Amino acid sequence: MNLFLRGIVPGILAALLLACAPKEDRSGLARKPVSRPAASGWARLPLDAEAQRAYPDLWLGDAEGVPVPFEVEREGLWRPQRLEVSGLLMGRDGQGRPTAEFGLRFPEGWQVRDREHLRVDLDLQGAAPWVCRVEVDRRLPGSAFLRLERESPIHVFDLGEPGGTRGFYVPWDAETYRVTLVATQGAAPRIAGVKVTASTRPEEFQADEVLSPRLEDLGPKEGREAWRLDLSSSQRIVGADLQLKPPTAPIRPHFTAPSAGEGRRQAQETWVPSEGLVWNLPALATKATRVSLGPVMADRLTLSLPEGARLDAARLLVHREVLLFPAEAGKAYFLHVGGRVKRAPGSLAALSDSSRAVYSREALRLGPGEADPHGLPVLVQGAERTRPWLAWAAGTAALLLGLFAWKLLKGPGPTP
């Protein structure tokens, strides 16, 4: 018995030490083929739902597994960016109308159309009431001014009551703008200042996918009405369409999402930034449904509205990351997910105008996942692999050691 115990206990300990050694795990490796580019140059590669859930732990490579540099296309939605005005000239034109001409200084790495629109807010000084039509001309370097033609004219006004407007949206398709006020009621005010913000109007955003979540009415919660919006899987949510039951004046919805690392049953939630108002007033033939979010990666949101507001329906807008990379015509590329990331040297952000050339090009597509011969496996530490049965092995070893000690203490039995 002593010989048995002396042999088996060291064997168990040796097995535990071997099991704790690091081991490669290739079970999560996969690659997705990219549709071959028709021409060389910058290519856009939108992620699908599976790749988005793996982001940022992914890399792009060619058929030989050589990593290809890429950058992530800046979010074209929601997050407003204040732009510095340059060369501002204010005064009156040849017809005595207030006018202002200005250029734009872009943040480092930015260029025209990094947001869809510009929000122009004017500092106007004049005695109310007045209403003015806004004429907008714009130009790119080396070109002449071109008038912005719209089906519905832009107006600013001040009727001496709350609710006047002194701001408007114009497309971001130029670097220099000129605005002129044409009085249609009263005397046109003087332009004393200009503020410009690059943004996207929520109602004009086109999502990659629109999902209908499962709604659960949570009832009143801290003086507000609350609903839970559940999706079948985690998605990158950037906006919501909320249909309210009439009549509802403009209100601001609030959203929260489970904290990172928290389980679905955990009560801890974090606030999700949102922008926009929603309302539904049939008597005035006006309503608004769309607000921007986050973006946030989640499979569940909690929506709260002011007390008395009634939610009729809700949809969530999904927009996935887009990779930009230099592609050669007809060459095979693969997106690798799972495992460790193989990074290409250098940074594409150092190149000027890196994203401008891809706006008019058709995006490449990802194919179904397949085995990845070039993926880098994850090194799984032995403690993680042995955790499910380590307690049983340790208990068995302790039991055998205890039995061995008991035999030693008992000593040899009486000799006949």
Please report whether residue 39 resides in a domain.
yes
Same structural domain, 47 and 144 = no
Q: Which domain holds residue 43?
A: 31-73+325-372
- Compare 339 and 405 and report the one with higher pLDDT: 339
Q: How far apart are CA 293 and CA 236, in angstroms?
A: 10
State the pLDDT confidence band at 169, using cuts at 50, 70 and 90.
confident
Please report whether residue 233 resides in a domain.
yes
Burial classification of residue 346, based on how many CB atoms lie within 10 Å of its CB (0-12 exposed, 13-18 middle, 19 or more buried): exposed
Listed in sequence order, the residues at least 6 apart from 14 whose beta carbon sits closer than 8 Å to its beta carbon are none
Contact in structure between 115 and 176 (CB atoms under 8 Å): no
Listed in sequence order, the residues at least 6 apart from 15 whose beta carbon sits closer than 8 Å to its beta carbon are 393
Task: Provide the CATH number for the domain around residue 191.
Answer: 2.60.120.260
Please report whether residue 59 resides in a domain.
yes
Q: How far apart are CA 69 and CA 345, in angstroms?
A: 7
Could you give the number of structural domains in the chain? 3
Which of these three, 286, 318, 350, is where a domain ends? Answer: 318
Same structural domain, 304 and 338 = no
Which of these three, 372, 392, 408, is where a domain ends? Answer: 372
pLDDT exceeds cutoff 60 at 47: yes
Same structural domain, 121 and 156 = yes
DSSP state of 206: -
Residue 73 φ then ψ, to 5°: -60, 130
Please report whether residue 2 resides in a domain.
no
Q: How far apart are CA 101 and CA 284, in angstroms?
A: 37
pLDDT exceeds cutoff 80 at 134: yes
Please report whether residue 170 resides in a domain.
yes
User: What pLDDT shows up at residue 222?
Assistant: 81
Same structural domain, 125 and 230 = no
Please report whether residue 296 resides in a domain.
yes
Q: Which of 21-25, 256-260, 303-307 reaches the highest mean pLDDT?
A: 303-307
Same structural domain, 35 and 138 = no
Tens-digit pLDDT profile for residues 207-223 = 789 999 999 999 998 88
Same structural domain, 108 and 181 = yes
Please report whether residue 410 resides in a domain.
no
User: 128-137 burial string, b = 16+ CB within 10 Å, else e?
Assistant: eebbbebbbb
Please report whether residue 386 resides in a domain.
no
Same structural domain, 194 and 269 = no
pTM over 0.85: no
Same structural domain, 166 and 184 = yes
Same structural domain, 265 and 192 = no
pLDDT exceeds cutoff 60 at 54: yes
Listed in sequence order, the residues at least 6 apart from 88 whose beta carbon sits closer than 8 Å to its beta carbon are 100, 101, 102, 194
Tens-digit pLDDT profile for residues 174-187 = 999 999 999 988 99
Tens-digit pLDDT profile for residues 225-256 = 999 999 999 999 989 999 999 999 888 899 99
State the pLDDT confidence band at 142, using cuts at 50, 70 and 90.
confident
Same structural domain, 270 and 220 = yes
The fraction of the chain above a pLDDT of 90, given in percent, is 46
CA-nearest of 6, 14, 55 to 32 is 55
Helical packing angle, 2-19 and 382-410, nearest 10°: 160
pLDDT exceeds cutoff 80 at 108: no
Same structural domain, 247 and 300 = yes
Same structural domain, 302 and 334 = no
User: What pLDDT shows up at residue 370?
Assistant: 94
